[in-house]
Amino acid sequence: MAVTKNDVEYVAELARLSFNEEEKVELIGNMNVILGYIDKLNELDTDSVDITVNPYYVENKFREDIVEKSMPLKEVIDNSPQNLEEYIVVPKIIE
């Protein structure tokens, strides 16, 4: 399953990244090296093995819903690259 230029372009679009031609060539090489190494997992028979997502079982934890003070709005809004009063400015998305 070697990574092709089409794969790189498709995955880049999913990841919201863009690359020039030279970068694409390098990425194809890099990803094939890493995936080639990763292929060694296929030496292991895992057909009857369960998956582990969290390293150990964590009980669901519940707490009372208590109203607390939120972060200072100004400090949060000031972090956005472009803002106006209490709003973050973004490009128009509805025609």
Partner 1 sequence: MELYKKTAHEIKELIQNKEVKAKEVADTFIKRIKKNNEDLGVFLYVDEEGAKSKAEEVDLKVEKGEKLLGLSGVPIAIKDNINVSGMQNTCASKILSGYRAPYDATVIKNIKTADGVILGKVNLDEFAMGSTTENSGIQLTRNPWDKTKVPGGSSGGSAASVAAMMSPLSIGTDTGGSVRQPASLCGVVGLKPTYGRVSRYGVVAFGSTLDQVGTFARDVEDCALLTETLAGLDKNDFTTADKIVPNYKKSLTQDIRGKRIGIPKEYFGEGLNNDVRKAVDEAILVFKENGAEIIPCSLPLTDYALAAYYIISSAEASSNLARFDGIRYGYRSKEYTDSLGLYTNSRSEGFGKEVKRRIMLGTYVLSAGYYDAYYKKALKVRTLIKNDFLESFKNFDAILSPTSPTTAFNIGEKVNDILAMYLSDVYTVPVNIAGIPAISVPCGISQGLPIGLQLMGNYFDEDTLFNLAYSYEKSTRWHKITFEEGGR
**What residues line the site for partner 1 (CB under 8 A)?**
1, 3, 7-8, 10-12, 14-19, 27, 30-31, 33-35, 37-38, 40-44, 46, 49-56, 58-59, 61, 63, 71-72, 75-76, 78-82, 88, 90-91, 93
Structure tokens at 20: 């020039």
Q: Which long-range contacts (CB under 8 A, 24 or more apart) does 84-92 make?
A: none
Smallest gap from residue 25 Cβ to partner 1 (A):
13
Smallest gap from residue 49 Cβ to partner 1 (A):
4
Smallest gap from residue 24 Cβ to partner 1 (A):
10
Helix (H) or strand (E) holding 84, with range, is strand 83-84
